[in-house]
Amino acid sequence: MKITVIGCGRWGSLITWYLAGKGHEVTLYGRETSAHMQQFLATRQNDLLTLPDSVCLSTDLTKALEGAKTVILSVPSQSLRALLKEAPLRALKNPSFVLCMKGLEIESGKRLSEVVHEELPEGRVAVWLGPGHVQEFYAGIPNCMVIDSADKAFQRELISAFSGDLIRFYYGQDLLGNEIGAALKNVIGIAAGFLDGLSLTTLKGPLMSRGTAEVARLIKAMGGDPLSAYGLCHLGDYEATIFSPYSHNRTFGENYIKGIPYTALAEGYYTVRALRVLEIQYHMEMPICDSVYRVLYENAVPREEIDRLFGRSLKPEFYDRIREEKA
C-alpha cells in the first residue's frame, strides 16, 4: 500500500517506521520549518528511532500526497481543521484518512473524525488508537491496539494490511466511544501526574476505576457504548498513560504540581477544556475531569480538589446501574 504520513513527531515517525517495516511504500511529510523534519532530512534519525532508507522524506505536501492510497494524520488535535483546509488535501479525490491522534476540538467539543467529515465529507475516515510508546515498539515490545471506522470495509482493509507480530489490532465496534475514550484517557493521565507530584500514588487505583466510570457515562449519554471505556481506547491505555515514564500527559501533570516547565505536547490539557462543551451539551457531571480543569484553568489548589472529591455525597459504586434497575 502506498501511504503518506503527515506529522513527523514521535508518533508519526513511529508509524512511518512500523509501516515501512511491513513492506508498505511510505512517505513521511513534515513542514520545512519543523526541527523534527530537518533532523530526519539530515540524519534520517530522531532521538528515538532511525527510519529505513525505503522511506521517502518530503517537505512538499503536494508531492508527498501523489499516488497515496491512504493518508495517515499524526498532528496536534487543535491543528487538524487548519491542516484539512490546505489546498493539496482538498484536491484529493475520495481520500482515505487514518487519524492517529487522541483529542477533541476545543471550540466545538467535536470528535476528530467529525472534523474530517465536515471539512472533507467525501473522505473515508478511520481511527488508530490504543496503548504503546515509541520507545517500547522500537525495542520490539509488542502491544495491542484498535482500529475503528464507520466504513467497515475500510476498517477490514486497514487491519489486514497493518497487523503483525509487533501490533495486534482489534476491530473497533463503536467509533464514538473509542474516540471519546481515547481523548479523555489523556485527562486521566494528567490527574495521575497530579497524584505523582503530590506523592499520592496509592490513589491511582481509585482514579482508574472512577475515571473509567465517568468516561463510560459520557459515552453512553452521547449515544455510544459505555463498554468502550473499558476497552483498549481507554482503560487498556492506562498503563501507558498513568504509570509510564514516557507518558507526556502524566509527566505534564507531575511537573505542573512541582512547578517544573514542560514543553512537550500534552493533549489532555486541551481536551479537558473541550470537554466542558460536552458536559453542558449532555448535562453531565464529571467530577474528576472537572477537578483537572479547575486546577489547570482556574488555579484551584490540587490538594483541595482531592478533598472536594472525597467530600462528595456518598453513593453506591455502580449507582447508574441501580438507577436503571429502578426505572
pLDDT at 163: 97
pLDDT at 321: 66
- The CA-based angle 124-86-277, given to 5 degrees, is 70
pLDDT at 18: 98
pLDDT at 324: 61
Is residue 61 helix, strand or coil?
A: helix
Sequential DSSP letters for 241-253: III-TT-HHHHHH
How far is residue 267's CA from residue 5's CA, in Å, rounded to a whole number? 20
pLDDT at 147: 98
CA 164 remoteness from chain centre: 21
How far is residue 274's CA from residue 83's CA, in Å, rounded to a whole number? 19
pLDDT at 246: 94
Phi and psi angles of residue 56, each rounded to the nearest 5 degrees, phi first: -90, 130
Phi and psi angles of residue 98, each rounded to the nearest 5 degrees, phi first: -120, 120
- The CA-based angle 114-10-79, given to 5 degrees, is 35
Contact 166, 137 (CB under 8 A): yes
What b/e string do you get for 232-258 counting C-beta neighbours within 10 Å, with b at 16 or more? bbbbbbbebbbbbebbbbbbbbbbbbe
* Dihedral, CA of residue 275, residue 250, residue 11 and residue 130, to nearest 10: -70
Is residue 86 helix, strand or coil?
A: coil
pLDDT at 212: 97
Other beta carbons within 10 angstroms of residue 127's beta carbon come to: 26
How far is residue 128's CA from residue 52's CA, in Å, rounded to a whole number? 22
Task: Give the residue among 135, 136, 233, 218 at the shortest CA–CA distance from 175.
Answer: 233
pLDDT at 325: 56
Q: Please list the pLDDT of the chain residue by residue as tens digits (327 residues).
A: 999 999 999 999 999 999 999 999 999 999 999 999 999 999 999 999 999 999 999 999 999 999 999 999 999 999 999 999 999 999 999 999 999 999 999 999 999 999 999 999 999 999 999 999 999 999 999 999 999 999 999 999 999 999 999 999 999 999 999 999 999 999 999 999 999 999 999 999 999 999 999 999 999 999 999 999 999 999 999 999 999 999 999 999 999 999 999 999 999 999 999 999 999 999 999 999 999 999 999 999 999 999 999 999 998 998 776 556 555
CA 284 remoteness from chain centre: 22
How far is residue 100's CA from residue 125's CA, in Å, rounded to a whole number? 11
How far is residue 291's CA from residue 305's CA, in Å, rounded to a whole number? 6
Please, what sign has the CA dihedral across residues 176, 28, 36, 84? negative
Domains annotated for the chain, with CATH where assigned, are 2-171 (3.40.50.720), 175-326 (1.10.1040.10)
pLDDT at 323: 59
Other beta carbons within 10 angstroms of residue 23's beta carbon come to: 11
What b/e string do you get for 94-126 counting C-beta neighbours within 10 Å, with b at 16 or more? ebbbbbbbbbbbbeebbbbbbbbbebbeebbbb
Q: Which of 102, 110, 185, 220 is catalytic?
A: 185
How far is residue 3's CA from residue 28's CA, in Å, rounded to a whole number? 9
> Which amino acid appears at position 32 of this protein?
E
Active site residue 22: no
pLDDT at 224: 98
